[in-house]
Chain A
Amino acid sequence: MYRSVFGKVLVRQLLLAFRRPAAVLNPLFFYGVVVLLMPLGLGPQQSVLSQFAPGLLWITALLAGLLSAETIFRGDYDDGALEQLLVSGESLYLASLGYVVAHWCLTGLPLALFSPAFGQLLSLPDEGLGTLAVSLALGTLVLSAFGCVGAALTMALRRGGMLLSLLILPLEVPVLILGAGVVERAVNGMPVDSLISILGGLSLLALALTPLAIGSSIKISLEV
């Protein structure tokens, strides 16, 4: 029915998520709450908010990806599904890719789709809204990929949460810089095509390479 293990993992993860619809909305709720904190912390002046909006919106996306990453493998590790995956001899590379894409569909994609609304809340000028959505859609692929690497390395550890942030946030620095930078350029009316292409290139690179690391890390975690 599902020929490749990639499709199987993807369908599985999506179906599992939609069995608990609240879980799908959690990243969006998180995003909304953090956006609410910004004017409370920085003051309500539109000029201040709009100046910091690109960076704030991107940092929040990083945190949303981080918080949701911890649970990527948790269930499958606890109930033995990962064990069965490893024993089956299926391609761990394709399975890992499935986990990355599933995580992106459940966090990055909805964030990107709703980001123009969040941008409005932080007085991001209209010129930046489209670029914000596109850059988030591409950049969160990288975030999901690194999130999966970190989650695969820490799933067997008792205190994985804080460790996970130390492992993956430094790796995500380029995405934050590019993402926030490209939105800022769009706001200032500068061309953004080349930077968007670089972001796209980074996400392809991450999609191609990180499954290798994720697969090996799953093997290690199952031995613990």
Chain B
Amino acid sequence: MFSQLDWHVKSGELWQIKGDNGAGKTSLMRAIAGLAPQSLEGRLSVLADFLFLGHKAGIKSDFTAIENLRLHLGDAQNGDERQLNDALATVGLADYRDEYAYRLSAGQQRRIALARLFLVDAPLWLLDEPLTAIDVDGVAIIEACIDRQVRNGGSVIYTSHQPLKLQLSTSTLHLRGKGQSPYVS
């Protein structure tokens, strides 16, 4: 996909990965998350606990919003019921707590996945296209989320086709496709 990448992410840093379609953004994200060790030659060490939000968010349409948080297969440290409710309220789904996910819109389902950002205490966030299907209010929620995470000393790596409005210094990793080495700005 791409070659020669020497890249370090420290805590408190915000990174955006940019590149055309097929440049390897998602592959890189998945490799960092440990989902594609085969496709990677070289050394990759992820020293922090992390949270991964991919294209597919793991939302079950036959579960209610709250059940989707409660029975989520990912995070080891599930919050108690009150924390789950708070997280749903923060992403604006308080009224839809017991609604089946198949009755919710794509954007609302995506918000359930976003609610996990408030439940897991991970120093590193990997957000692959977090804005997909999200409306303006939702974008604001994500921006606030990322802001809080970075200010608290955590780091965020994200990919996005839409620009995020953030009051933080963002570093960018440009992937340039086949055979070309990426550069940082």
Binding site for B on A (CB under 8 A): 1-2, 5, 8-9, 11-12, 15-16, 19-20, 75-76, 78-90, 95, 222-223
Known contacts A79-B56, A222-B35; decide if A85 and B73 are in contact (CB<8 Å). Answer: yes
Q: Kindly report which residue of chain B lies nearest to residue A16, judged by CB atoms.
A: B62
Q: Kindly report which residue of chain A lies nearest to residue B77, judged by CB atoms.
A: A88
Residues of B within 8 A of A88 (CB): 73-76
Residues of A within 8 A of B73 (CB): 5, 8-9, 12, 76, 81-82, 84-85, 88, 90, 95
Known contacts A87-B33, A89-B76, A223-B36; decide if A78 and B71 are in contact (CB<8 Å). Answer: no
Chain B min CB distance to A71 (Å) = 13
Residues of B within 8 A of A83 (CB): 33, 35, 52, 54, 56, 58
Residues of B within 8 A of A5 (CB): 73
Question: Is A86 a contact of B55 with CB atoms below 8 Å?
Answer: no
In residues 60-90 of chain B, which contact A (Cβ within 8 Å)? 60-63, 67, 70-76, 78
Question: Is A81 a contact of B58 with CB atoms below 8 Å?
Answer: yes
Residues of B within 8 A of A86 (CB): 34-35
Residues of B within 8 A of A84 (CB): 52, 58, 72-74
Residues of A within 8 A of B70 (CB): 1
Residues of A within 8 A of B39 (CB): 223
Chain B 165-177, CB within 8 Å of chain A: the 1/0 string?
A: 0000000000000
Question: Is B71 a contact of A8 with CB atoms below 8 Å?
Answer: yes
Residues of A within 8 A of B57 (CB): 79-80
Residues of A within 8 A of B56 (CB): 78-80, 83
Residues of B within 8 A of A1 (CB): 70, 78
Q: Is B38 an interface residue (CB 8 A)?
A: yes
Q: Kindly report which residue of chain A lies nearest to residue B81, judged by CB atoms.
A: A1
Question: Is A80 a contact of B62 with CB atoms below 8 Å?
Answer: no
Please measure, in the bound complex, the distance between the C-alpha atom of A76 and the C-alpha atom of B67, giving whole angstroms: 15
16 examples of A-B residue contacts, CB within 8 angstroms: A5-B73, A12-B73, A19-B62, A78-B56, A80-B57, A80-B58, A83-B58, A84-B52, A84-B72, A85-B74, A87-B33, A87-B74, A88-B76, A90-B73, A222-B35, A223-B35
